[in-house]
Structure 1
Amino acid sequence: MLIHPDRSTLLLIDLQERLAPAIHQVGQVLEASVWLTRVAQRLAVPVICTEQYPQGLGPTSPALRGLLPDECIVEKMHFSALAEGKLFRAAGGDRAQFVVAGTEAHVCVQQTVLDLIAAGRRVFVVEEAVGSRRSTDKALALERMRRHGADIVSREMVAFEWLQQAGTALFREISREFIR
């Protein structure tokens, strides 16, 4: 039931420039996604970032894109990141657990999460790191994903489970820089 750093991947879904202004509380969603990305990278947890039709919605938001190597970006046209078969072939795509952030919660995030669960993966959706244009759509999506087997978690829950224990140099470093 715990999120393990050696068995999980951080999946960032469609956090793109042109979509961002329409997302309710987008600042919180992007800040939490950047935070998760930095923690994942520090702990050697793979990160995959999808871009929905980047020609129309633009690239990943600059604050996030600046942290990501090109090889972790997966372009897609379908709402579910699994539909085109690229996700599981990406580095980290073969892992059993997915920690999910992104937009929109009731469209691409939800369809991807439901497909991941159907494919036998364990899914953890980070509440403050997902968003939709309307808060009601986000709430409905979180409820539906939970009902179908996704765990709804906070970013700190993810970080502490990835860390597994206190008292190490890595714990002190992550705690000082990210948790305070």
Structure 2
Amino acid sequence: MARADTLVVIDMQAKLVPHIDDGERVTQRVAAIVRAAGLLDVPVVATEQNPRGLGATVDGLLDGRHRLIEKDSFDATRANAFLAALPPAPGTLWIAGAEAHVCVLLTAIGLLARGYRVEWLADAVGSRRAADRATANLRAQQEGARLTTVETAIFSWLGDFRHPRFREALALIK
């Protein structure tokens, strides 16, 4: 794993997630990748869109090691604090969260424009409507993000089965 890898979690907020299509599954996938990042020392940068209206991040998803950025813009790259929390481009950013077709997609496009490699965790993004999520997956790929999955990300970070935390990481996806 390159040291410039960072997990970006967009707007997994308590008042939004219950409205996400298959929101429980999306939350489980995001939780798995956040736990894997912690286990494998991958930094996590998370955002909250208008937390006074949409609430805080879902309980138990983040901890004190993670950077949490409040934002007003749909594209997180318009928030200076968000950009300051990221490694320098051209690092690899693994992106997950909600809503796929709004804040996640617009942030991914902003990151790509700034020279980052974006790995779009297709099984860890969600929207209120399945069609919006499907369109966001397609659009992200058209814009240059690489579609991948939580499991692929974890194995990428591990490198091989000899990693000292292999069994712990494997337990997150079984």
TM range (shorter): over 0.9
Say whether residues 1:178 and 2:159 are aligned partners. no
Between the aligned partners of 2:67 and 2:56, the Cα distance in structure 1 is: 13
Between the aligned partners of 1:146 and 1:50, the Cα distance in structure 2 is: 22
User: Could you tell me whether the CA contact under 8 Å between 1:5 and 1:43 is conserved in 2?
Assistant: no
Deviation at 1:173, TM superposition (A): 3.1
Structure 1: give runs of 5+ residues left out of the alignment: none
Structure 2: give runs of 5+ residues left out of the alignment: none
Deviation at 1:71, TM superposition (A): 5.9
Between the aligned partners of 2:145 and 2:98, the Cα distance in structure 1 is: 16
Relative to structure 1, the CA distance from residue 34 to residue 71 in structure 2 (aligned partners, 3 Å threshold; closer, same or farther) is closer
User: Equivalent of 2:160, from 134, 142, 165?
Assistant: 165
Counterpart in the other structure of 2:122: 127
Counterpart in the other structure of 1:18: 15
Deviation at 1:114, TM superposition (A): 0.3
Between the aligned partners of 1:172 and 1:71, the Cα distance in structure 2 is: 23
Say whether residues 1:83 and 2:78 are aligned partners. yes
User: Could you tell me whether the CA contact under 8 Å between 2:4 and 2:87 is conserved in 1?
Assistant: no
- Alpha-carbon displacement from aligned partner over 1:48-104 (angstroms, at most 9, x marks no partner): 11000001100001131xx321761100000001112221212x4436111001000
Matching residue's letter, 2:76: A
User: Could you tell me whether the CA contact under 8 Å between 2:45 and 2:67 is conserved in 1?
Assistant: yes
Say whether residues 1:149 and 2:150 are aligned partners. no
Between the aligned partners of 2:42 and 2:24, the Cα distance in structure 1 is: 24
TM-score (norm 2): 0.94
Counterpart in the other structure of 1:29: 26
User: Could you tell me whether the CA contact under 8 Å between 2:127 and 2:133 is conserved in 1?
Assistant: yes
TM-score (norm 1): 0.91
Say how many residue pairs are matched.
173
Aligned-residue CA RMSD (Å): 1.5
Relative to structure 1, the CA distance from residue 20 to residue 8 in structure 2 (aligned partners, 3 Å threshold; closer, same or farther) is same
User: Equivalent of 2:48, from 48, 51, 65?
Assistant: 51
